[in-house]
Structure 1
Amino acid sequence: MRSIVTSAYARVPADVPRDNLTPLRLELERRLRAAVAEARRADALELYLPMRLSGNVNLGASIIVSEALLPARTCSDGAPGTASDPTEIALQLLSGDMAADVDVSSGEVDGALGVRRERVAPAAVDRGAEMASRRVDYFVSVPGDPGRWLVAAFSTIGAGNPRDDLSDALVEWFDALMTTFRWSWA
């Protein structure tokens, strides 16, 4: 973890006093540890956090990839049944968020059924989220295994406003990433 923070601060000009940087480094390390702990609690498979500046802009964004395992249905006699059909799950996801500020759509990702959900989450200072964020989630059924879904959750604060131009560009980038996603079996 320390090496990631050191790498992030490697581009700081040499004339910046180290005493000014120490509290910032400690805060970055604290936030990074909190993000990793939160991803672990959510049983995430992957956590992506941009740690380098893009030009002079720090990209406030993250991607968490996880797997959702759905329980098999139980037959009327109590015996275990088959997993729910991905279409049924997609319909539940599509009808579950009826709020006006949530955009939900469905389609295919590399031939697999997928659902895309977008919303703005308010700041939650008690959870360390000091700013509102724009969130885009993709739920993609795993081909040949109706009980498994890939979940890719993207979040950005943009340049301080979740509906600003930077946020729009980052959401567009994430959509391009997900719509060109391809399954690969080892």
Structure 2
Amino acid sequence: MTDRTTTAPHGYQLILPPEWVRIPMRSGTDEAIRSIVEDAFATLPANAPQDRIGPYRREMERRLHGAVKEARRAEALDLYLPLERMHGIAVPASIVVSEMKFPEQVAVDPSAVAHRLLESPGRESETSVVEVDTVRGVRTERTVAADAPGGGELGSRRVDYVVPVPNDHGRWLGIVFSTLGAGDPGDAIADLFVELFDAMMSTFRWSRS
């Protein structure tokens, strides 16, 4: 049996709702996108008009590749996206999992990293210490303001979990959730998605076998 107290995990597991998909960033990205698109259109009748299906298929591929491009800017390990509508509304949302590093003198002490994050500007009233699969981490929730008119960046609701990788000095995981809600990051749909994300994080487990 693997000793959880001394063995560093080689990965993690996260249980997803049926409407969510995972896109790996380091390998198999294009294959995952093709599979997601094929599955999304697999239930259509064989005689469905291709001239009507084609534009929707291309738009889905465009959105998936766009989301991957953004995730790669964050040096992500994995990207998670919801594909189905919630209460008839297509809600833009994503989860990005990436590795993080802190200065060695800080990273040796998880409590020091948590303290640093708790003191970060803008996080004082929105940050709390959490436990993720028995590991102490930090959860931050905030609303990111929209750009000035014409800036192109919409306001979003964001929740970050920052957790040290057990028995692997200096390595941390950042799990970042973001949603626009149904057009307002403070609306009920955004609240519902934040609750869903926290429920998903309660299923997070380190993989050692």
- TM-score, normalised by the number of residues in structure 1: 0.76
Counterparts of 1:1-186 in structure 2, within 5 Å, are: 1-2=33-34, 4-5=36-37, 7-8=39-40, 25-54=57-86, 56-73=88-105, 83-98=107-122, 103-124=126-147, 130-186=153-209
Partner of 2:28: none
- Report the 3-state secondary structure (helix = DSSP H, G, I; strand = E; otherwise coil) of the residue aligned with 2:198: helix
Q: Which has the higher contact order (CA 8 A, sep 6+)?
A: 2
Structure 1 residues 84 and 112, CA gap change in structure 2 (3 angstroms): same
Unmatched 5+ residue regions in structure 1? 74-81
| Structure-2 change in CA distance of 1:146 and 1:94 (3 Å) | farther
Aligned-residue offset at 1:166: 1.2
C-alpha deviations, 1:107-155, integer Å up to 9, x for none?
2212211101111123359xx9653211100001122234111111001
Q: Identity over aligned residues, as a percent?
A: 51
CA 1:148–1:58 in 2, change beyond 3 Å: closer, same or farther? same
Give the root-mean-square deviation of aligned CA atoms.
3.2
- SS of the equivalent of 1:47 reads strand
Cα contact 1:85–1:146 (8 A) shared by 2? no
- Unaligned stretches of 5+ residues in structure 2: 1-32
Q: Is the 8 A contact 1:123 1:130 kept in 2?
A: yes
So what's the TM-score if we normalise by structure 2? 0.69
